[in-house]
Amino acid sequence: MTITFEKLPANLQELKALPEASLNQPEYGAALFVAVMMHYFVNKDETYEMLEYLKGPYGLSTYEKQFLADRMADGEHIVRSFFNGTSPENDYTPSMPYTIETEKGYDAEIDGRMKIFLKSSGADSKRHILLRHKPSTDEWFIEDQMILAMIRMPKSSDPWA
């Protein structure tokens, strides 16, 4: 599924105004995670507030905040690499409007959970976000994410380029 954002959310109100904020498709939560993480270097507190929404009943733990800080220390290019049009050669500059390709893992729900795979233009294999379905509201919330691992560095930062 291709998900398009004309503008990325800068706070919880903007996030909730997006049609994907209904979270009624697992792909929406995965794509919104990437969109929200683009705000991390602008305002961490607003980012955490948006992530709390995407995590639903799980909430965002202190450990997860520390994990995000560790992963994001390598730079914003890791998150940008999930948008279409990016590559190490263009320093992971996304094309506009922002688009993300998502893919269901096994195309089936297992124990109320589903993996959504995302392609990073800086990695050789797809990465995934695990979402859990809440039947009473028909929403999919982020349970875990495995997308913020290291990728190839942007060409402008590569001393061997």
Q: What confidence tens digit (pLDDT) does each residue in 102-123 have?
A: 999 877 788 999 999 999 999 9
47 lies in a domain?
yes
161 lies in a domain?
no
Q: Please compute, for residue 62, the number of CA atoms within 13 A of its CA located in the half-sphere on the CB side.
A: 0
139 lies in a domain?
yes
- Across all residues in the chain, what is the average pLDDT? 95
29 lies in a domain?
yes
54 lies in a domain?
yes
Among residues of the chain, what percentage have pLDDT more than 90? Answer: 89
Name which of 138, 112, 101 is nearest 24 in CA terms: 138
The pLDDT score that the predictor gives to residue 74 is 84
126 lies in a domain?
yes
Find out whether the peptide bond into 97 is cis, omega within 30 degrees of 0: yes
Cβ atoms of residues 84 and 161 within 8 Å: no
Q: What confidence tens digit (pLDDT) does each residue in 48-92 have?
A: 999 999 999 989 999 999 999 999 998 899 999 999 999 999 999
C-alpha–C-alpha distance, residues 148 and 55, integer Å: 17
Domain count, the chain: 1
Distances (CA, A) of 12 to 39, 42, 47, 133: 11, 14, 8, 21
The pLDDT score that the predictor gives to residue 160 is 83
**Structural domain that includes position 45:** 2-156
> What's the pTM value of the predicted model, to 2 decimals?
0.95
The pLDDT score that the predictor gives to residue 158 is 84
79 lies in a domain?
yes
Maximum CA extent, the chain: 53
